[in-house]
Amino acid sequence: MQSDVELAKRVELESLVKKSRVPAQLDYIQSATGLILGLFMWGHMLFVSSILISKDAMYFVTKMMEGEYVLGEAHPEIVTVTAIFIFIVFITHALIAIRKFPGSYKQFRVFREHAVRFKHSDTNLWFIQVITGFTMFFLGSIHLFVIMVNSDNIGPYASADRMVSGWMWPLYLLLLVAVEFHGSIGLYRLCVKWGWFEGKDAKASRKNLKKIKWAITIFFMGLGLATLAAYMKIGYEHKDKAGERYVPTYISAKVAS
């Protein structure tokens, strides 16, 4: 039979083993939620940038996301549910990631001294992630809440009016910068962390991944700024009629005939 001392040691060892798995499990959840958010933001940017094609194109995408072309009528609640899901993933990711942030000014100083001394590019990228992640926690939460409570008020005019007449464009501009840097860096770090796309030469693979990361950042940043400018242009032109819903040309032409 085991003595009390041996039994206590065994319980303590099992507890330590169990605890040692928690960080790995949290890393997995953080990576999974980060991947979901990163891919979602790419898709989201491509959808909202449909305004660069035409107002009708953006209207089509909006109604498609509301299920009108499948269900026969628009259901904005689909957008609400999607926003709630993304918000849950977003908060989960943020709460897990924050455990790795410097917890005090002393820790921050140690980190900065380390970064300056060694001049490691990936360390600097991580620091950018910390700053943009902290920014996104507030700005992203506001944006998602706005979408949740205004899911029936999305469209060429409605979205543009919200930016200009509702003075939301400064928030969207800051959010755009934070999202594009945070997302592209995060996906790059995921590839490095889990060894995705790693060839025979890990150093060369990391270098190529970093080039792809910057190319993605530049592309989506440019697309985002062009999209924001397009909505603001529409918003200023429509300022005197703020609140009016957009009627696509194929419907207005049918009514006119």
CB 222 within 8 A of CB 150: no
The pLDDT of residue 142: 94
Question: Which residue, 184, 152, 145, 139, is CA-closest to 45?
Answer: 184
Burial of 188 (0-12, 13-18, 19+ CB in 10 A): buried
The contacts found for 35-40 with CB under 8 angstroms, 24 or more apart, are: 35/187, 35/190, 36/89, 37/86, 37/89, 37/90, 37/93, 37/183, 38/183, 38/184, 38/186, 38/187, 38/190, 40/86
Q: Which residue ranges in the chain fall short of pLDDT 70? A: 1-20, 103-105, 107-108, 111-112, 114-120, 252-257
The pLDDT of residue 60: 95
The pLDDT of residue 157: 95
The domain made up of 22-256 has a fold known as: 3 helical TM bundles of succinate and fumarate reductases (1.20.1300)
Domain ranges for the chain, please list them: 22-256
Q: State the chain's mean pLDDT as an integer.
A: 86
The pLDDT of residue 83: 96
